[in-house]
Amino acid sequence: MTQHNPSSLDQRPKNYLGSTCLFIGIFSTATVVGVLLIVGMLTTFKIRWKIGYLWCAIISWLTKVFCGLTYEVEGLEQVDAKQPVVFLSNHQSAWETLALRKILPPHSVVVKRELLYLPIWGWALLTLKTIVINRKNQRGALKALLQQGTRYLNEGLSVLIFPEGTRVAVDDVVKFNVGGAMLAHKAGYPVIPVAHNAGKYWPRYSFIKYPGIIKIKIGPMIETAGRKPTDINAEVEAWIRQALQEMA
């Protein structure tokens, strides 16, 4: 299916120029921050998280300056920084992988193993208590998610998962994987759904970013005690689908 973009007619040169400047900004600062995070292994996770947070804040500012792209958040009051939860979010672009580090309290993120092959950047991911999975080995990936995710939750750290498993075009619908709900069920922690429409302005696999306001909606906490993972997953997916329809 062709990816929808409300700014598809806005092909002015400034969008190409702004996107180029943003790319240069991300590339150059990521290298510096990556080195800082690797050296930061000599310090605490709290310090390393602050380094990563600062970088995401810088990228957010560059995105606003160069591309005219900002965001607004609804429902942030649903989040208690002292309560570890499993955040389940839809996945439309690279934007949310950066912005949610700034918006949400400290958390571990599930990433594919291939990202670790990137020099400096991939290595830096490991310093942030990242959960690495091999998507080609589904059983092993689920085992790693449950083991590492439970450990981090018990340490007081939330976990962010994109249950679609990959970036999905705005108009496409992909069934949610149940792994995130299984983690919440097994570890005994609640779930908070997160919905956004970042793909409208920062399309997946697209170099060009478009001006606008990305909407993020954070849902109410969903308790998992005494419930089946499939039921939890279905409730989360239904809430996110409804939130996306309201954004549209």
At residue 116, the pLDDT reads 84
User: CA 225, CA 43: separation in Å to the nearest integer?
Assistant: 36
Decide if pLDDT at 2 tops 70: no
At residue 6, the pLDDT reads 46
- pLDDT, one tens digit per residue, over 202-214 is 999 889 999 999 9
At residue 117, the pLDDT reads 84
CATH architecture of 71-247: 3-Layer(aba) Sandwich (3.40)
Q: What is the CA radius of gyration of the chain?
A: 18
- pLDDT, one tens digit per residue, over 132-183 is 998 888 899 999 999 999 999 999 999 999 999 889 988 888 899 999 999 9
Average pLDDT score, the chain: 92
* HSE value, Cβ hemisphere, 13 Å, CA-based, for 137: 10
Query: Closest Cα partner for 188 from 243, 219, 160, 229?
Result: 229
At residue 12, the pLDDT reads 66
Residue type, 190: P
- pLDDT, one tens digit per residue, over 32-66 is 999 999 999 999 999 999 999 999 999 999 999 99
Average pLDDT over residues 99-120: 92
At residue 11, the pLDDT reads 62
